[in-house]
Amino acid sequence: MPPDLTALRRRLQQALGEEFTVGALLGEGGFAAVFRVRDKALSRDLAVKVLDLGLTPSSSLAERFVREARTIARLEHPHIVPIHKVGGYRNEILYIAMRCVDGPSLRQLLERYQRLSVGDAARIARQVADALAYAHGQGVVHRDIKPDNILLDASGHVLVTDFGIAKAAHDATPAQLTTEGMVVGTPQYMSPEQATGERADDRSDIYGLGIVLYQMLTGAPPFDGESAQQILMKQATVEPVPIRQVRNDVPEALAVVLHRMLEKDPAQRYQTAEDASQAIVHALPSAARERVKVRPRVGLGGAGCLGLAAFGAGVAVAGYALLSDHPRISARTPIPDSVASFARRAAPVPREDSLLYVFAPHGERQRMLVVTNRHIVALTSAGSRTYPRDGLTLRYALRFSVRKPLYGVLLLIPEGGSPDTLFADLSPRELYAVARSVAAVHQ
């Protein structure tokens, strides 16, 4: 049951008082929401995460969440999102006020660019490693390093968030986690020891960062599957495809560093995040620079505040990242495993066909274009249609209307048949992306 946002906003305003103004909703999920809040006295915006205690499955988890958030609030590092205040109101809500980072999360950058330059990926990984080294020195292990929890501000500076949430979740008993249906961590980024139920330590964060670095370089994490159980089994038993087999412009020295970060045996990994940071810089000296060069495109500004909300199964624990919530997709060969699994489950793609291009403008299963070596599959709310590639024409058009000044239309025109309107509301950017990509795979 989602929180009553009107009541939650009102109670948050009452809790914070007249010195603050509760503004726009930045995100919601489980039993929590995040609001942008204006601090009038200091003339700054905060991201305030609010837990509805009436919806939390366990009062002990909520209490532990606040206790750990207060611990994390003492962390002061340039690459860690600072927590400014922790409080509550009449045993109805709990809230955590954090810096509002007006920039994208790494997940949002990867949605837009799919993969990053080697230099940017190394710089991001090094800054995260520095944040982890500091936190580990304070006795705090993150346990849920993933692209959602890595933010970039407007200057290209990297910040890590949600330390307290991961720590609070870890301290829950196995019985609580089982009976409440919750999971500590996200399967695609969990270390082998987390996957097998062992206690995580500093080296688990190093493994998680290795997964993130692999994804930044290739466009997808190394392990995915039809279910969380399959993914966890791979984390524990399967070796990732060597990075240079997937992307040959990765320097050999950086490939060696990444391989060690992803060792199954914690004893074979770097033993400290500081060692990992130094190894990254030794392999690629430009990783020592602070500023990440990649810039978010239009539409990503201000998203970092939302990036602070790692909802999933609820704010006190990190949930599974479900493929049904996959972001906007425009991916051509080599198709990342996660996108391929998403497409094959959603669309009737012949098993023997090779995927060449997948386009889902809103990341929905109900609206998708899939191009294979032999077929083109159209998926809409009205059903699916499969056409042979030979004899099928794709036609693109920009149209105008009073309601929507400029929008794109994609038509499939089979030889001797009637036009099939697949998409009728694409943005010009989306229309350009699909037209360019389809032309590329047809060459």
**Which residues participate in catalysis according to the annotation?**
144
Compute the distance between CA of residue 346 and CA of residue 77 in angstroms, rounded to an integer. Answer: 43
Residue pair 24/73 in contact by the 8 Å Cβ criterion: no
End-to-end Cα, the chain, rounded Å: 49
Q: Which helix (H) or strand (E) covers residue 431, if one does? A: helix 428-442
Residue pair 262/211 in contact by the 8 Å Cβ criterion: yes
Cα 136 → chain centroid: 23
Q: Tell me the sheet residues that pair with 409.
A: 397
Compute the distance between CA of residue 261 and CA of residue 217 in angstroms, rounded to an integer. Answer: 14
For residue 269, report the phi and psi dihedrals to the nearest 5 degrees. Answer: -80, 175
- Residues with Cβ within 8 Å of 157's Cβ and at least 6 positions away in sequence, in order, are 78, 79, 127, 290, 291, 292
Residue pair 360/328 in contact by the 8 Å Cβ criterion: yes
Compute the distance between CA of residue 251 and CA of residue 94 in angstroms, rounded to an integer. Answer: 47
CA dihedral 431, 436, 442, 443 (to 10 degrees): 170
Q: Cα dist. 23→12, 49, 184, 304 in Å?
A: 11, 12, 31, 16
DSSP 227-288: SHHHHHHHHHHPPPPPHHHH-TTS-HHHHHHHHHHT-SSGGGS-SSHHHHHHHHHHH-GGGG
Output 407-416 pairs: Cβ under 8 A, ≥24 positions apart: 410/369, 410/434, 412/376, 412/378, 412/385, 412/387, 414/387, 415/391
Give the closest residue to 153 by CA, choosing from 294, 280, 27, 311. Answer: 294
Mutual angle of helices 273-283 and 202-218, in 10-degree steps: 30
For residue 423, report the phi and psi dihedrals to the nearest 5 degrees. Answer: -130, 135
What is the length of the chain?
443
Exposure pattern of 78-106 as b/e (b: 16+ CB <10 Å)? Answer: ebbbebebbebbeebbbbbbbbbbbbbbb
Give the closest residue to 356 by CA, choosing from 344, 378, 336, 371. Answer: 371
